[in-house]
Structure 1
């Protein structure tokens, strides 16, 4: 099997999705150099980091986290673009594993028992073929031993892209967008809500407001990247 794998690698060499260099036999998706050199936030080591501050006075959270800093033209942008638009969902799993290893070091995240990815609208999900946040959730779940729950938190209407909107426009765009189909299944759970990139936090806030209406729910959030 290893001989076949080596032969296949010669014909169709696997490249790092961050820097495009050829991967070694023991590397997957992201090379070792990039794995070490990515701009990690280390937010799991601090309580008053940038993501947490976005929700102060708005949403009651048990914990918050973003794995990487997002900047235009960076390796992180390349990874996110390939994850979302180039049919590379396994990038999400790899980054989820990196995030999960760090969250395992934080006492507050050890009680998480359910992970919910921010849902896509069915039309967008059909077009893309997968929800990139689901794969991030699956990567985290393997490390913190929590269960990924899809299709309970749903997006009830399609929204315009948030990319070029102001903070206020983003908030207005996300009003009354999400709903929970079976709230009784989430009662008393510590939910980790996950998304790909956080900018203003309006999408996560909209989801959080719905989930926190469920009796006994505790809520934390985690994203792949934080755009400063």
Structure 2
């Protein structure tokens, strides 16, 4: 098995998504140095934190958090770019496991019944081959054993990328972006955790909440890998 790995690494060298350095056998996705340098928000399960306050007046969410700060051109930006555009599926799951491990002992997951990743449109899912938010959710599920639910929320249209849009354009672009499916009533009285890769204005998460908030007795928490604090 080690020989096969050596052959694979010779022809397809594994490099850090952040610095480009060759990874050791014990490293996955990014090197230990870059992983340790990712800027932590330190929010974890802090009540009434700034991310929670983003959603005040929209929906009474239970909890909200992000693990890392995002800055354009920074290390977290490189991680997200690798997750979304370079086919790094294992990196998505790894970062989910890191999120799950960081939050597991803080009480953040207490009472949560299922994890719902922000869905991709079917056309974009076909082109990319995977949903990075779903793989993040899988990584969290690996650590917490909380099941992932992908059949209660759908993306209704394939909107343009949010990357270069202003705050107002992001909200406009996300309006009516998601809808609840016929399976959504199964969430009645459940506490769900919405998962996405990065939080910017909160427009995408708010659109998900809008699609699900009519479910009787639903409770919603939010977690993202990164936060673009403005």
Find the aligned partners of 2:7 and 2:119 in 1 and give their Cα distance.
40
Deviations 1:120-145 (A, max 9, x none): 11111111111111111101111121
Deviations 1:18-64 (A, max 9, x none): 22111111111122122221111121152233322211222211111
- Counterpart residue number, 1:111: 111
- Counterpart residue number, 1:192: 193
Runs of 4+ deviating beyond 4 Å: none
Contact 1:17 1:30 in 2 (8 A): yes
- Tell me, which stretches of 5 or more residues in structure 1 are unaligned? none
Please state if 1:180 is matched with 2:173: no
Contact 1:62 1:220 in 2 (8 A): yes
Find the aligned partners of 1:55 and 1:47 in 2 and give their Cα distance.
13
**Which structure 2 residues correspond to residues 28-47 of structure 1 after superposition, within 5 A?**
28-47=28-47
**Which structure 2 residues correspond to residues 116-195 of structure 1 after superposition, within 5 A?**
116-181=116-181, 182-195=183-196
> What TM-score, normalized to structure 1?
0.93
Find the aligned partners of 1:12 and 1:164 in 2 and give their Cα distance.
32
Q: 1:7 to 1:166 in 2, by over 3 A?
A: closer
SS at match of 2:19: coil
**Which structure 2 residues correspond to residues 64-79 of structure 1 after superposition, within 5 A?**
64-79=64-79
Deviations 1:178-215 (A, max 9, x none): 11111222122211101111110011011012222111
Report which stretch shifted further, 94-103 or 42-51. Answer: 42-51
- Counterpart residue number, 1:90: 90
- The alignment's C-alpha RMSD in Å is 1.7
Report which stretch shifted further, 164-173 or 148-157. Answer: 164-173
- Counterpart residue number, 1:209: 210
- Equivalenced residues, count: 228
Report which stretch shifted further, 12-21 or 77-86. Answer: 12-21
Find the aligned partners of 2:79 and 2:199 in 1 and give their Cα distance.
15
